[in-house]
């Protein structure tokens, strides 16, 4: 619940601005107070009357409004909320934020505020992919701005791609994880690996596995929701970076190990990635050619570094190291043996013989020094929340 929380909601110009109304409704239902700010672009897509009616508070639009200045003043407006949310955040507004422009009420508030800021970008895929937007986003993230989305999907212009505003429910969840609840992991740094790795064969082909990254990403999000500073080292996945985590994107196991070591020191490491055990012994510099009448080229494999075992034996070993065991048979005995072999503290073991990989649920066993706990079949988000709570307990 968000009762007592005050949110300054900035709505900028995008076809998706209508979603700000649904978001406002969700926030108010959860008990939050919403103070809406509408840019001139935003006002082309939603009316101040609709926003004001749903927010139940006056909409602020004008930096030079004598009424606003007399009643509250834009500096106080900037300092009042627990969180500033920009949804939708247009490419133009994000660029202005990155460069510190303050030429209207919204940008002035964003420059003047000392509160945490969450942005939900919305724009055409080509604008999102543009190097200027990439650079602006990198700058904003580096300054600690929280980001939710954008999603990949259908756009107003009958095109499709990344840039679509996250759904109101997702933006709400990001707000909730930034604002609500106790933060027992505040001040802790947790490293999480997630997703598969891609091991190149040649410039166009690679070895991979079916991991979606859903469980690892959910764990990163759950840890962040408990206040941890999270470094998420992710292999190639189609999931968006969870809100409030620092994501490092890698391809291969060796890159993943390097990124993990660079992220140390950490209080805990959760190795949920499905790291490829093997890579090709050598990567062809050019695409391997199929020659008619000739046998296929042999694929010689080399062993990849074991990231979990490396972190467990590291000079800067995190206090708590957690591994995963994806097994199709003898799940628990294999996990117990794996805990010993890898030198980690806990193993989260699951049976992947069904539709666990890429699916939305997981039935796991938590193997610790104290024994084995069998958890019921749960949504991956709930497995993540329970595991995050246990991590918090172990680090307290
Ligand atoms: O040995 P196995 O692959 O079954 O172990 C799984 C656990 O070890 C997972 O936590 C996985 O993230 C980790 N692992 C790793 N590096 C590897 C292989 C596995 O970190 N090269």
Kindly state if the Cβ of 211 falls inside 6 Å of ligand 1: no
CA-nearest residue for atom 9, ligand 1, is 324
pLDDT of residue 299: 92
* pTM, full prediction: 0.64
Nearest Cα to Cα of residue 121 among 157, 174, 49 = 174
Is 36 part of any known ligand binding site?
A: no
Segment 10-15 mean pLDDT: 96
Task: Give the number of the atom of ligand 1 that is nearest the alpha carbon of residue 326.
Answer: 4
pLDDT of residue 161: 85
CB count within 10 Å of CB 305 equals 14
Model confidence band, residue 1 (pLDDT cutoffs 50, 70, 90): low
Is 307 part of any known ligand binding site?
A: yes
Cα 195 to averaged position of ligand 1 atoms, centre (Å): 12
Segment 117-145 mean pLDDT: 94
Is 289 part of any known ligand binding site?
A: no
Q: Which range has the top average pLDDT, 136-140, 175-179, 251-255, 361-365?
A: 251-255
Residues 6+ apart with CB under 8 A from 145: 97, 117, 118, 119
Cα 305 to averaged position of ligand 1 atoms, centre (Å): 9
Kindly state if the Cβ of 219 falls inside 6 Å of ligand 1: no
Classify 56 in phi/psi space as left (phi over 0), alpha (psi -120 to 50) or beta. left
pLDDT of residue 42: 96
Cα 35 to averaged position of ligand 1 atoms, centre (Å): 47
pLDDT of residue 265: 98
Q: Is the pLDDT of residue 312 over 80?
A: yes
331-347 pLDDT per residue, tens: 999 999 999 999 999 99
Cα 189 to averaged position of ligand 1 atoms, centre (Å): 21
> Please, how many CA atoms are within 13 Å of residue 112, restricted to the half-sphere of its CB?
19
- Say whether 334 is catalytic: no
Cα 77 to averaged position of ligand 1 atoms, centre (Å): 49
Is 66 part of any known ligand binding site?
A: no
CB count within 10 Å of CB 156 equals 11
pLDDT of residue 356: 63
Cα 178 to averaged position of ligand 1 atoms, centre (Å): 31
Looking up tokens 């909409």 gives: 59
Kindly state if the Cβ of 306 falls inside 6 Å of ligand 1: yes
62-108 pLDDT per residue, tens: 888 877 777 778 888 898 899 999 999 999 999 999 999 999 999 99
Is 308 part of any known ligand binding site?
A: yes
Most informative mutation of 307, 310, 332 for ligand 1 (most atoms within 8 A of CB): 307
Kindly state if the Cβ of 275 falls inside 6 Å of ligand 1: yes
235-279 pLDDT per residue, tens: 999 998 887 789 999 999 999 999 999 999 999 999 999 999 999
Segment 210-238 mean pLDDT: 94
Residues 6+ apart with CB under 8 A from 162: 125, 128, 129, 150, 151, 152
Q: What are phi and psi of 15, to 5 degrees?
A: -55, -30
Q: Is the pLDDT of residue 311 over 80?
A: yes
Across the chain, mean pLDDT equals 93
Q: Is the pLDDT of residue 155 over 90?
A: no
pLDDT of residue 387: 97
The DSSP secondary structure of 314-345, one letter per residue, reads -TT--SEEEEEEEESSSHHHHHHHHHHHHT-S
Query: Tokens representing 63?
Result: 């930096």
354-396 pLDDT per residue, tens: 776 667 888 899 999 999 999 988 888 889 999 999 999 999 9
Kindly state if the Cβ of 98 falls inside 6 Å of ligand 1: no
Kindly state if the Cβ of 271 falls inside 6 Å of ligand 1: yes
Task: Give the number of the atom of ligand 1 that is nearest the alpha carbon of residue 311.
Answer: 20
pLDDT of residue 2: 82
Kindly state if the Cβ of 308 falls inside 6 Å of ligand 1: yes
pLDDT of residue 357: 67
């Amino acid at each position: 619940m968000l009762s007592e929380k005050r949110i300054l909601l900035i709505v900028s110009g995008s076809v998706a601005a209508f979603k700000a109304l649904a978001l406002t409704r969700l926030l108010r239902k959860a008990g939050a107070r919403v103070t809406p700010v509408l840019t001139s672009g935003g006002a082309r897509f939603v009316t101040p009357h609709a926003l004001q009616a749903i927010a139940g508070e006056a909409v602020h639009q004008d930096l030079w409004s004598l009424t606003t200045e007399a009643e509250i003043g834009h500096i106080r407006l900037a300092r009042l909320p627990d969180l500033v949310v920009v949804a939708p955040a247009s490419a133009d507004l994000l660029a202005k934020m990155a460069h510190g422009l303050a030429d209207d009420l919204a940008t002035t508030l964003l420059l003047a505020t000392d509160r945490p800021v969450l942005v939900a970008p919305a724009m055409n895929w080509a604008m999102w992919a543009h190097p200027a937007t990439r650079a602006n986003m990198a700058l904003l993230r580096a300054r600690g701005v929280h980001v939710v989305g954008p999603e990949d999907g259908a756009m107003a212009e009958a095109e499709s791609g990344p840039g679509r505003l996250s759904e109101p429910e997702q933006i709400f969840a990001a707000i909730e994880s930034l604002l609500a609840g106790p933060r027992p992991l505040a001040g802790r740094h947790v490293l999480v690996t997630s997703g598969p790795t891609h091991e190149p064969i040649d410039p166009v082909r690679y070895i991979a596995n079916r991991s979606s990254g859903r469980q690892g990403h959910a764990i990163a999000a759950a840890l962040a929701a408990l206040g941890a500073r999270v470094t998420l080292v992710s292999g190639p996945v189609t999931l968006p970076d969870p809100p409030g985590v620092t994501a490092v994107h890698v391809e291969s196991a060796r890159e993943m190990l390097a990124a993990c070591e660079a992220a140390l020191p950490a209080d805990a490491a959760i190795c949920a990635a499905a790291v490829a055990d093997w890579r090709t012994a050598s990567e062809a510099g050019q695409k391997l050619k199929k020659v008619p009448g000739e046998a296929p080229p042999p694929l010689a494999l080399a062993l990849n570094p074991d990231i979990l075992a490396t972190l467990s034996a590291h000079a800067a070993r995190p206090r708590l190291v957690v591994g995963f065991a994806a097994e199709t048979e003898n799940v628990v005995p294999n996990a117990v043996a794996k805990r010993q072999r890898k030198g980690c503290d806990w193993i989260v073991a699951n049976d992947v013989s069904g539709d666990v990989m890429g699916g939305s649920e997981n039935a796991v066993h938590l193997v610790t020094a104290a024994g084995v706990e069998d958890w019921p079949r749960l949504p991956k988000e709930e497995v993540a929340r329970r595991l995050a709570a246990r991590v918090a307990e172990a680090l307290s």
